[in-house]
Amino acid sequence: MSDFEPSDIEQYRTFKNFFVRANRPGSRPIDVPDDPVGAVVVTDSRVVAYDSVAKTKKLRIKDTYSTITNMFMSI
């Protein structure tokens, strides 16, 4: 969380605010002109596979587990 502002997870009032949090300036440079092998990455992501259908009812987003209901209630 040190790459983000605010870095304290308790400061996010809603899940939406947490999901669209800002990067701390300089923590994730978009472009490094002198690096010929660098690439711009527009999102962080991870592949997740479940061994049962029941586990798919909880969504893992940014290392936090939630449900569809909880997500819509926080909007």
Paired strand residues for 66: 59
- Give this prediction's pTM: 0.41
pLDDT at 45: 67
Radius of gyration of the chain (CA): 16
Determine phi and psi for 69, rounding to 5 degrees.
-60, -50
What does the pLDDT profile of the chain (75 residues) look like in tens digits? Answer: 888 999 999 999 998 888 888 888 888 777 777 888 877 666 766 667 778 777 777 777 777 888 877 777 776
